[in-house]
């Protein structure tokens, strides 16, 4: 196996790893929404 093939295989593994990592965090660079500062005040019932 030439050096190039080896490094490309490593690269593919890396990309796969990144993909799985993004899946474990359910993350995408294209997502519109994200965490915001904690809102002042309460929303919704906080107790039954």
Q: Which of 35, 37, 39 minimizes the C-alpha distance to 26?
A: 35
Binding track over 16-35 against other proteins, x by CB under 8 A: x-xxx-xxxxxxxxxxxxxx
State the nearest-atom distance from the C-beta of 4 to other proteins, in Å: 5
Q: Would you count residue 45 as binding other proteins (CB under 8 A)? A: yes
Q: Is 32 helix (H, G, I), strand (E, B) or coil?
A: coil
Q: Would you count residue 48 as binding other proteins (CB under 8 A)? A: no
Tokens 């660079």 -> residue: 29
Q: Are 22 and 28 in contact (CB under 8 A)?
A: yes
Q: Which spans of this chain sit near other proteins (rule: CB under 8 A)?
A: 2, 4-5, 8-9, 11-13, 15-16, 18-20, 22-39, 42-46
């Amino acid at each position: 196996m030439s050096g190039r093939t080896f490094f490309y295989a490593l690269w593919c593994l890396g990309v796969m790893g990144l993909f799985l990592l993004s899946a474990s965090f359910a993350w995408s660079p294209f997502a519109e929404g994200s965490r915001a500062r904690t809102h002042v005040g309460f929303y919704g019932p906080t107790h039954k």
